[in-house]
Amino acid sequence: MVSSPVDDGPSDTSTDPPATDGSAAALSEEELYAIVRVAAEDAVLGALGTLMLVGIGIVLIATGASTLLADVTPVSLLVSVVFIGFGVYLTASSLGVIPPAREWV
């Protein structure tokens, strides 16, 4: 767990048993701080990860489209279609439009 910046004096420790009904009223300030900090960190990292995956998907789509328009040979056509398909899949699964591959199995 993440410790709070508050000093660990004897007045900070709680002798009450932990909450079992899911209420936040029985949690100490240290426990609430740790929970909120972890939740905020997860939210920020999730948003950054989504933006990164969408960016990679857009780059793959653009690369596939430019290769498709530049030179049309059977091999380049196949590579372009694979790039565009994977870019569309990566972007759509990152945004939650389709389920990710780990949920297909």
Q: What are the residues whose beta carbons fall under 8 Å from the beta carbon of 94, sequence distance 6 or more?
A: 50, 53, 54, 57
pLDDT in tens, 4-35: 555 455 555 555 555 556 666 678 889 899 99
Check: pTM over 0.95? Answer yes or no: no
pLDDT in tens, 37-46: 999 999 999 9
